């Protein structure tokens, strides 16, 4: 059973480990530590029997939010955990009065794009050469909260 909960300082190392395995240009552990202290950040952990298996990072400002990061441990992919984390983040954002959630995704990341599209995100733009390692465009996507 996986429990979703607020991230704690002791979770930083596990989050950084998942981040390094999931992304070619990962955030450092220090970035996660800083996020936990930021009032705008909402960091949620997926915990399976004491093991961190995924997380989301959302930044909220007024009635807008950015899904800054979502990652799932490689052994947990394909089991619906990414969708569960995403749905929980969107529900929490709506609970805080958010009307729009934005994100960037690598154009080549078909799995993530499929997840976001299935959750109701639409492509609204492109950020040229947004990503490094390798250099690649990002698609800018937006989700509109239900009226």
Q: Which residue in 104, 94, 47, 54 sits closest to 74, CA to CA?
A: 54
Whole-prediction pTM: 0.94
Residues 48-71 have pLDDT tens digits of: 999 999 999 999 999 999 999 999
Contact 18, 73 (CB under 8 A): yes
Checking if the pLDDT of 143 tops 90, the result is yes
Going by pLDDT thresholds of 50, 70 and 90, the confidence category of residue 105 is very high
Strands 64-72 and 100-106: parallel
Q: Give the angle subtended at the CA of 112 by the CAs of 107 and 117, to the nearest 5°.
A: 90
The dihedral built from the CA positions of residue 100, 45, 15 and 116, taken in this order, carries a sign that is negative
Residues 7-43 have pLDDT tens digits of: 999 999 999 999 999 999 899 999 999 999 999 999 9
Residues 107-134 have pLDDT tens digits of: 999 999 999 999 999 999 999 999 988 9
């Amino acid at each position: 059973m996986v429990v979703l909960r607020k991230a704690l300082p002791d979770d930083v190392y596990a989050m950084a480990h998942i981040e390094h395995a999931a992304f070619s240009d990962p955030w450092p552990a220090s970035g996660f530590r800083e996020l936990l202290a930021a009032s705008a950040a909402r960091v949620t952990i997926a915990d399976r029997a004491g093991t961190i298996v995924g997380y989301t990072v959302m930044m909220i400002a007024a009635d807008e939010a950015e899904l800054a990061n979502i990652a799932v441990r490689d052994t947990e992919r394909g089991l619906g955990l990414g969708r569960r984390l995403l749905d929980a983040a969107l529900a929490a954002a709506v609970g805080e009065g958010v009307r729009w959630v934005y994100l960037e995704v690598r154009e080549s990341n078909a799995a993530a794009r499929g997840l976001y599209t299935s959750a109701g995100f639409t492509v609204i733009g492109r950020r040229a050469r947004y990503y490094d390692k390798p250099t690649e465009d990002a698609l800018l996507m937006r989700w509109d909260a239900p009226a």
